């Protein structure tokens, strides 16, 4: 044994440690000799016990239920900690909460937000919903803090008057504006006690208006109301109020009536500095505090009494004031605290947006806007008229933008152009060629389109006039019906070949034709299918007759059609289809450009000295390609000028489709020459057996 060592340990002896928070089992070392060892920390009211109490209280304030706290302390090695003992410990918070609620209010509080949250509290044998009211204010020094907290049976005017008078008694003064949701009792209490202007929460007002209109109208109503709250000043907002009421009166009259009644309460915030408007027009600054309280009260579920509600909410609000809301800011005369000023800066940037890209989808439209410095602002809106209205209200009037070509691109362009925007439609294939992407999403596409507009590189698409689009629609409807009729006719032939028959359509329409099929052994199921197809063909022809009757006079009156009809295989309606699809021939510098536009050119893969031709690109308009192929159907006739090209191509490929495509290219080449020179078609004088390539530049020699 060394001189410093006075004894040796000889095992342990258990000893329970009774504390106010429960019993802890300790192992006390035994000594071989000398007096027994007794730790000094076992003396009553030491810091170890206080630390455990602090853990329990911290867990309670952060939303952990009393039963969960019991399980927590068991893991710390504490036995006998019941939920009742946890609740008894938490009552120690009452002293701090009471001091927080009764502290004096010094100085002026220019802005005051008031709101209530309902919680469930047990009252005897019943569970009642009670109102937990909170007062949140900005001090003249710029500090934001919760200044009041109380619990009431209901949100009556008497309760609000008593609550506001308690704030006045503690020193509340200098209130220039009170912000809250619509509640007549609270509104009258503010008028009686504070005698200051009242601002109705615009967010709650918009939600209330949604209850007075159809779901399909809510986007339009929200966009119109948002226009009122984003004006440059109060006079402009009141001017817009009249315009909005006039615009919405035919569709949502009740919304207009309620809006007119609430005009002064909704626009009260315009009397204060513009930098404060984003926070003064709603109770959003207080909503964050309510959510934190709700997150903890949801864990509790039903509070045992009123004191427990005040205890939990008060402890949380103390922490909010100490850690978050108590940060010093600038004076109210120069602006609200920094977090409020940041949102104002964001709004000012948004007003500078000039270049816009829209990727239009079936349900949602992604958009991206850039200013002249490349700063990005993006989002999504519903792919409908209400979504466009919201986008127009957000970005202002000084906008240049584009949308990719698709079925509704012209409508989108016209709607946004009516707002004063400079909009265009771009070619999706050319955009992909200019800016190929490894990651392709709607959001990325919108950003690429905006960047192309900003750099003035957007590949714009030519769009025909409304009258030409109307004729195109009629012609495309006819071509669709013709395709359906042809498909039905081919189907009848296919059903017959299954039983070794080949009767044309005229023979099938004769009386007794179905009995003739029976004689040839065609079963009943096949006969019914043929009969149904004949009925479909007759119905399609009945629809085609009046449509063609409308289109033929247009074809006879069009000089372009008369020129195109000189091309072999082109009749009146086919010539009208070609003329409308080509439209202004001057937009094609050469016949090759027209053939490439139609999608009848084959794809070419070239690398070094090798070059391989693939399938047709089919990248152009389907109707133009269909019309050219229809005109090529007669190339099998010996009198056709392209009969030799058709025969040779068919012999080389062993099938007719490549031959028809080759002749269809010749039809388009001839169409370009005929329309460009305003001269009728003349066959080539040359009888050379070699076929003329699709890129031939020989005029009128197709």
With cut-offs at 50, 70 and 90, classify the pLDDT of residue 334: very low
Q: How many CB atoms lie within 10 A of CB 490?
A: 11
- SS3 of 181, please? coil
Q: How many CB atoms lie within 10 A of CB 5?
A: 7
| Residue 102, CB-side half-sphere exposure with 13 Å CA sphere | 6
Match domain 103-201+283-337 to its CATH number in 2.40.30.10, 3.30.70.120, 3.40.50.970, 3.30.420.10. 3.30.420.10
Task: For residue 195, give every residue at least 6 positions away whose Cβ sits within 8 Å of its Cβ, in sequence order, or none.
Answer: none
Q: What is the mean pLDDT of the chain?
A: 80
Run of H or E residues at 11: strand 9-19
Question: Which residues pair with residue 427 across a beta bridge?
Answer: none
With cut-offs at 50, 70 and 90, classify the pLDDT of residue 333: very low
> CA angle, 228 as apex, 223 and 233 as ends, to 5°?
145
Strands 376-382 and 364-370: antiparallel
- Topology of the domain covering 351-454: Nucleotidyltransferase; domain 5 (3.30.420)
Domain ranges of the chain: 9-91, 103-201+283-337, 203-271, 351-454, 558-605+612-702
Quick check: 336 and 123 in contact, CB under 8 A?
Answer: no
Give how far the C-alpha of residue 542 lies from the chain's centroid of Cα atoms, to the nearest Å: 44
Q: What per-residue confidence (pLDDT) applies to 680?
A: 92
- Euclidean distance between CA atoms 197 and 175, whole angstroms: 9
Task: For residue 233, give every residue at least 6 positions away whose Cβ sits within 8 Å of its Cβ, in sequence order, or none.
Answer: 270, 274
Q: What per-residue confidence (pLDDT) applies to 451?
A: 87
Highest mean pLDDT: which of 86-95, 386-395, 423-432, 522-531? 522-531
Task: For residue 177, give every residue at least 6 positions away whose Cβ sits within 8 Å of its Cβ, in sequence order, or none.
Answer: 110, 111, 112, 196, 197, 198, 199, 268, 269, 272, 280
DSSP 62-92: TT--HHHHHHHHHHTTEE---HHHHHHHHGG
203 phi, psi to nearest 5 deg: -65, -45
- Euclidean distance between CA atoms 240 and 575, whole angstroms: 53
Span 487-505, average pLDDT: 91
How would you classify residue 80: left for phi > 0, otherwise alpha for psi between -120 and 50, otherwise beta?
left
Radius of gyration of the chain from its Cα atoms, rounded to whole angstroms: 41
Q: What per-residue confidence (pLDDT) applies to 18?
A: 59
Burial tier of 464 (Cβ tally within 10 Å: 0-12, 13-18, 19+): middle
Task: For residue 407, give every residue at least 6 positions away whose Cβ sits within 8 Å of its Cβ, in sequence order, or none.
Answer: none
- Euclidean distance between CA atoms 336 and 142, whole angstroms: 6
- Euclidean distance between CA atoms 146 and 288, whole angstroms: 12
With cut-offs at 50, 70 and 90, classify the pLDDT of residue 484: very high
Q: What per-residue confidence (pLDDT) applies to 567?
A: 92
Greatest alpha-carbon pair distance for the chain in Å reads 133
Q: What per-residue confidence (pLDDT) applies to 325?
A: 46
Span 161-187, average pLDDT: 89
Q: What per-residue confidence (pLDDT) applies to 538?
A: 93
Span 240-253, average pLDDT: 87
Quick check: 200 and 181 in contact, CB under 8 A?
Answer: yes
Task: For residue 430, give every residue at least 6 positions away whose Cβ sits within 8 Å of its Cβ, in sequence order, or none.
Answer: 459
Q: What is the pLDDT of residues 605-645, one digit of tens each?
A: 777 777 788 888 888 888 899 899 999 988 888 888 999 99
- Euclidean distance between CA atoms 168 and 166, whole angstroms: 5
Q: How many CB atoms lie within 10 A of CB 182?
A: 14
- SS3 of 691, please? coil
With cut-offs at 50, 70 and 90, classify the pLDDT of residue 88: low
Quick check: 338 and 332 in contact, CB under 8 A?
Answer: no
With cut-offs at 50, 70 and 90, classify the pLDDT of residue 329: very low
Span 368-377, average pLDDT: 81
60 compared with 8, residue with greater pLDDT: 8
Quick check: 303 and 117 in contact, CB under 8 A?
Answer: no
> CA angle, 494 as apex, 493 and 500 as ends, to 5°?
85
Quick check: 571 and 614 in contact, CB under 8 A?
Answer: no
- Provide, rounded to the nearest whole percent, the portion of the chain with pLDDT above 90: 19
Task: For residue 48, give every residue at least 6 positions away whose Cβ sits within 8 Å of its Cβ, in sequence order, or none.
Answer: 41
697 compared with 69, residue with greater pLDDT: 69
The pLDDT of residue 324 is above 70: no
- Euclidean distance between CA atoms 675 and 584, whole angstroms: 9
Lowest-pLDDT choice from 105-119, 240-254, 344-358, 508-522: 344-358
Distances (CA, A) of 365 to 239, 360, 434, 440: 31, 4, 22, 15
**Of 392, 396, 352, nearest in space to 372 by CA:** 352
- Euclidean distance between CA atoms 274 and 177, whole angstroms: 14
With cut-offs at 50, 70 and 90, classify the pLDDT of residue 655: confident
Structure pTM? 0.46
Q: Sheet harboring 22-31: ordered strands across? A: 9-19, 22-31, 78-79
The pLDDT of residue 36 is above 70: yes
With cut-offs at 50, 70 and 90, classify the pLDDT of residue 337: very low
Question: Which residues pair with residue 132 across a beta bridge?
Answer: 117, 151
With cut-offs at 50, 70 and 90, classify the pLDDT of residue 346: very low
Q: What is the pLDDT of residues 418-441, one digit of tens each?
A: 888 888 999 888 888 777 665 678
Q: What is the pLDDT of residues 253-273, one digit of tens each?
A: 898 999 888 888 888 888 888
- Euclidean distance between CA atoms 417 and 359, whole angstroms: 17
218 phi, psi to nearest 5 deg: -65, -40
- SS3 of 414, please? helix
Calculated CA dihedral for residues 215, 219, 222, 228, nearest 10 degrees: -140
Instruction: Indicate the angle between helix axes 218-229 and 385-395, nearest 10 degrees.
Output: 10
Quick check: 692 and 666 in contact, CB under 8 A?
Answer: yes
- Euclidean distance between CA atoms 74 and 163, whole angstroms: 42
- Euclidean distance between CA atoms 132 and 309, whole angstroms: 8
Quick check: 441 and 378 in contact, CB under 8 A?
Answer: no
Quick check: 370 and 353 in contact, CB under 8 A?
Answer: yes
- Provide, rounded to the nearest whole percent, the portion of the chain with pLDDT above 70: 82
């Amino acid at each position: 044994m060394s001189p410093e060592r006075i004894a040796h340990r000889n095992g342990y002896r258990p000893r329970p440690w009774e504390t106010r928070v429960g019993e802890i089992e300790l192992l006390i070392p035994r000594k071989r000799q000398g007096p027994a060892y007794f730790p000094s920390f076992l003396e009553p009211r030491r810091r170890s016990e206080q630390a455990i109490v602090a853990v329990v209280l911290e867990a309670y304030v952060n939303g952990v239920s009393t039963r969960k706290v019991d399980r927590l302390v068991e893991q710390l090695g504490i036995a006998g900690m019941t939920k009742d003992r946890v609740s008894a410990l938490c009552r120690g918070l009452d002293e701090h909460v009471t001091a927080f609620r009764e502290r004096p209010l010094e100085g002026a509080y220019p802005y005051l937000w008031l709101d209530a949250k309902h919680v469930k509290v047990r009252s005897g044998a019943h569970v009642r919903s009670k109102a937990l009211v909170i007062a949140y204010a900005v001090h003249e020094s710029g500090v934001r803090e919760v200044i009041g907290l109380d619990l009431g049976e209901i949100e009556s005017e008497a309760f609000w008057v008593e609550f506001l008078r308690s704030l006045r008694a503690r020193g509340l003064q200098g209130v220039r504006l009170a912000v809250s949701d619509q509640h007549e009792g609270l509104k009258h209490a503010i008028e009686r006690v504070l005698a200051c202007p009242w601002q109705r929460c615009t967010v709650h007002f918009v939600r209330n208006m949604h209850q007075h209109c159809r779901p399909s109208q809510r986007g339009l109503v929200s966009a119109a109301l948002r226009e009122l709250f984003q004006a440059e000043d109060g006079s402009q907002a009141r001017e817009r109020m009249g315009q909005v009421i006039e615009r919405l009166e035919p569709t949502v009259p009740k919304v207009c009536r309620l809006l007119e009644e609430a005009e002064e309460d909704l626009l009260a915030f315009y009397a204060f500095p513009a930098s404060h408007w984003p926070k003064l027009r709603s109770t959003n600054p207080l909503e964050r505090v309510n959510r934190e309280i709700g997150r903890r009260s949801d864990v509790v579920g039903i509070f045992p009494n009123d004191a427990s509600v005040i205890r939990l909410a008060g402890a949380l609000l103390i922490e909010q004031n100490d850690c978050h809301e108590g940060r010093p800011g600038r004076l109210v005369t120069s602006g609200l605290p920094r977090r409020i000023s940041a949102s104002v800066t964001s709004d000012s940037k948004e007003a500078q947006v000039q270049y816009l890209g829209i990727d239009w989808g079936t349900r949602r439209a992604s958009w991206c806007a850039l200013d002249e410095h490349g700063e990005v602002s993006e989002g999504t809106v519903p792919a409908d008229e209400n979504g466009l209205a919201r986008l127009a209200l957000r970005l202002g009037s000084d906008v240049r933008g584009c949308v990719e070509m698709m079925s509704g691109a012209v409508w989108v362009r016209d709607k946004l152009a009516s707002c004063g925007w400079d909009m265009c439609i771009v070619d999706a294939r050319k955009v992909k060629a200019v800016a190929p992407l490894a990651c392709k999403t709607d959001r990325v596409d919108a950003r690429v389109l905006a960047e192309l507009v900003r750099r003035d590189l957007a590949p714009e698409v030519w769009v025909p006039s409304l009258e030409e689009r109307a004729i195109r629609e009629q012609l495309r409807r006819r071509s669709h019906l013709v395709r359906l009729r042809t498909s039905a006719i081919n189907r009848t032939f296919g059903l017959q070949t299954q039983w070794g028959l080949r009767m044309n359509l005229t023979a099938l329409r004769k009386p007794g034709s179905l009995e003739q099929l029976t004689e040839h052994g065609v079963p009943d199921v096949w006969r019914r299918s043929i009969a149904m197809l004949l009925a479909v063909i007759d119905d399609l022809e009945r629809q085609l007759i009046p449509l063609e009757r409308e289109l033929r006079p247009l074809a006879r009156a069009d000089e372009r059609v008369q020129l195109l009809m000189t091309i072999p295989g082109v009749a009146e309606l086919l010539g009208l289809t070609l003329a409308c699809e080509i439209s202004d021939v001057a937009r094609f510098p050469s016949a090759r450009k027209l053939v490439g536009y139609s999608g009848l050119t084959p794809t070419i893969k070239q690398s070094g000295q090798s070059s391989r031709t693939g399938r047709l690109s089919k990248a152009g308009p389907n109707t133009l390609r269909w019309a050219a192929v229809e005109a090529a159907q007669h190339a099998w006739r010996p009198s056709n000028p392209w009969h030799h090209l058709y025969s040779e191509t068919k012999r080389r490929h062993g099938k007719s489709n490549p031959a028809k495509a080759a002749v269809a290219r010749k039809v388009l080449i001839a169409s370009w020459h005929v329309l460009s020179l305003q001269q009728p078609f003349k066959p080539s004088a040359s009888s050379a057996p070699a076929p003329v390539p699709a890129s031939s530049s020989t005029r009128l020699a197709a």
